Amino acid sequence: MSYTGEAFLGLMPELISTAFLIAVLMVGVFAERSAGLVASLAALGALVTFVGTAVLLFIGFEGEFFGGGYVVDGFALYFKLIVSGSAFFAVLAAARWSSGTGDAAEYLMLILSVVLGAMLLVSMRDLFGIFLALELATIPSYAMVAFDRRRRESAEGGMKYLITGVIASSILLYGMVLIYGVAGSAQLPDIARAFSGSLTPVALIGLVLLISGFAFKVSAAPFHFWTPDAYQGAPTSAAAFLSVAPKAAIFGVLLRILLEGMPGAAPVWTVVMAFLSIVTMFVGNLFALRQRNVRRMLAYSSVAHSGYILAAFAALQGDAVPTGVQAVMIYSAAYAVMNMGAFLVIDLAGEEVKGYNGLFRTRPGLAISMGVFMAALVGLPPLSGFFGKAWVLLAGAQSGSGLVYVVVGAVVVNSVLSVPYYFGIIRNMFFEEPSGGETAGEGGFAVEFSVYTLAAATVIFALIVGPLAALAQASGLL
Partner 1 sequence: MILGLIQQEMSYGALYLYVGIFMLLVTGFVATVLVLARLIAPGRRSVAKAAIYETGEATVTDPWRPFPVRYYVFALLFLIFDVEAAFLYPWAVVYEDLGLYGFFEMVVFVLILGVGLAYAWKKGALKWV
Binding site for partner 1 (CB under 8 A): 3, 22, 25-26, 29-30
Q: How many helices (H) and strands (E) does the chain have?
A: 22, 2
Least CB distance to partner 1 at residue 20 (A)? 13
The whole-angstrom separation of Cα 20 and Cα 43 is 9
The whole-angstrom separation of Cα 430 and Cα 371 is 9
* Other Cβ atoms within 10 Å of 63 Cβ, number: 15
DSSP 26-89: HHHHHSTT-HHHHHHHHHHHHHHHHHHHHHHHHTT--EEETTTTEEE-HHHHHHHHHHHHHHHH
The whole-angstrom separation of Cα 298 and Cα 345 is 11
CA distances from 377 to 275, 337, 351, 420, 447 (A): 22, 10, 18, 12, 20
Of 45 and 371, which CB lies nearer to partner 1 in the complex structure? 45
Of 105 and 278, which CB lies nearer to partner 1 in the complex structure? 105
Least CB distance to partner 1 at residue 1 (A)? 10
Of 29 and 470, which CB lies nearer to partner 1 in the complex structure? 29
Of 103 and 153, which CB lies nearer to partner 1 in the complex structure? 103
Least CB distance to partner 1 at residue 233 (A)? 25
Return the percent helix, strand and coil in the chain, to nearest 5.
80, 0, 20
Of 22 and 416, which CB lies nearer to partner 1 in the complex structure? 22
Least CB distance to partner 1 at residue 15 (A)? 10
Of 185 and 453, which CB lies nearer to partner 1 in the complex structure? 185
Of 105 and 426, which CB lies nearer to partner 1 in the complex structure? 105
User: Residue 212 phi/psi, 5° resolution?
Assistant: -60, -45
Least CB distance to partner 1 at residue 22 (A)? 5
The whole-angstrom separation of Cα 327 and Cα 398 is 12
40, amino acid identity: S
Of 112 and 366, which CB lies nearer to partner 1 in the complex structure? 112
Least CB distance to partner 1 at residue 49 (A)? 18
The whole-angstrom separation of Cα 139 and Cα 431 is 43
Least CB distance to partner 1 at residue 34 (A)? 13
Residue 413 near residue 405, CB atoms below 8 Å = no
Least CB distance to partner 1 at residue 29 (A)? 5
Burial of 127 per CB tally in 10 Å (0-12, 13-18, 19+) = buried
The whole-angstrom separation of Cα 33 and Cα 294 is 34
Of 15 and 266, which CB lies nearer to partner 1 in the complex structure? 15
Least CB distance to partner 1 at residue 3 (A)? 6
* Other Cβ atoms within 10 Å of 377 Cβ, number: 28
The whole-angstrom separation of Cα 135 and Cα 114 is 9
Least CB distance to partner 1 at residue 244 (A)? 28
The whole-angstrom separation of Cα 321 and Cα 317 is 6
Of 105 and 297, which CB lies nearer to partner 1 in the complex structure? 105
Least CB distance to partner 1 at residue 478 (A)? 34
Least CB distance to partner 1 at residue 18 (A)? 8
Cβ partners under 8 Å of residue 428, min gap 6: 353, 354, 356, 357, 358, 359
* Other Cβ atoms within 10 Å of 372 Cβ, number: 25
Of 105 and 328, which CB lies nearer to partner 1 in the complex structure? 105
Of 49 and 398, which CB lies nearer to partner 1 in the complex structure? 49
User: Residue 218 phi/psi, 5° resolution?
Assistant: -100, 15
Residue 222 near residue 283, CB atoms below 8 Å = yes
212, amino acid identity: S
